[in-house]
Amino acid sequence: MQWHGDTFDLPDGVERLAGSPQYANQAFRRGDWLLAVQFHPEVTHEIHEDWLAAWRDELPEHGLSVEGMRELQASCGPGAAAASAAILGDFVDGLATRRTLPRAG
């Protein structure tokens, strides 16, 4: 789920995990203790509809339409939700097995 225009360079010492044709840095990690995502793993059908209502006027400038976004949500939403739950669940499970987090600096 994306129609934003935000991007950034990856910090040193991190590993890219996911990207898109528009934005190379959609997810990254540092070791086994930091996970960062540019996308929204929390998006449900209801959140998607709220966003469409709030920002539908922005879609055409990105070559998108409300109908097209609804079709994508219907076809990809369930798989994306399952993948997001797995990603976040695996990350949290990994944190639970660590005794301490690394110190800054």
In a domain, 4, yes or no: no
User: Domain of 87?
Assistant: 15-97
* Per-residue pLDDT tens listing for the chain (105 residues): 666 678 889 999 999 998 888 889 988 999 888 888 888 888 889 999 999 999 999 999 888 999 999 999 999 999 988 988 888 888 888 777 765 656 665
Domain count, the chain: 1
In a domain, 3, yes or no: no
Number of Cβ atoms within 10 Å of the Cβ of 62 = 13
In a domain, 6, yes or no: no
In a domain, 1, yes or no: no
Q: In what order do the strands lie in the sheet with 34-37?
A: 15-18, 27-30, 34-37
Q: Return the pLDDT at 100.
A: 60
In a domain, 103, yes or no: no
What is the 8-class DSSP label of residue 17? E
